[in-house]
Structure 1
Amino acid sequence: MSGSMSGTSEMTVASAFSGMTRVDPVVFKAACPDCRAGFELAASALRLVVGATHRTTFYSFTCPECGVAVRKPAGERIVELLTGGGVRALRLHSAI
């Protein structure tokens, strides 16, 4: 056994990702409280509003089955999951 590492080369970012062609978009499972339909939504179908309190922090979407506007409270964990999955957040600032 020799100490040389023949046959190996330094990996670059380009070579590490050269085989990657596409990343599947993140989808979120949701349900409509009106029609009880369950479905998956893309990040672009969700709206996230982050307010100063838990009462003013929520996410919303339109049910693709019945068309009703759905609004649900969003705690810290939900905000993390949604923003991590690409949902854009509207941050409300209180007046001082």
Structure 2
Amino acid sequence: MGFFLALFGNTDNRNLIEALKSGAYLVDVRTPAEFSIGSVKGAVNIPLEKVSIQLSKFKNKENIVVFCRSGNRSSQAKTILEQSGFHNVINGGTWQNVNKIIA
């Protein structure tokens, strides 16, 4: 993923910046142990394996930004959410990427 980002840039970056500025629902899909080490201020922790059973937490959110350590789990979370009817989901990639944009 890093190779393609370096070549083409993050095509969702503009949408990500706008969503973050508008107060998107920030979801860290890493494990609780990873989350406890550090995350984005204001983010909630819903581990990837629990996303599909905690869909109610995503309802009525204008924008949802999911992120993780490498962008892989957040990509999977985005797919799960979209298959569950959520169309306002942005894969923020790494939590450091999201944190850098917010800062």
TM bucket (normalised to shorter chain) is under 0.3
Larger relative contact order (Cα-Cα within 8 Å, sequence gap ≥ 6): 2
Per the normalisation by structure 2, the TM-score is: 0.22
Structure whose CA Rg is larger: 1
Select the structure that is richer in strand. 1
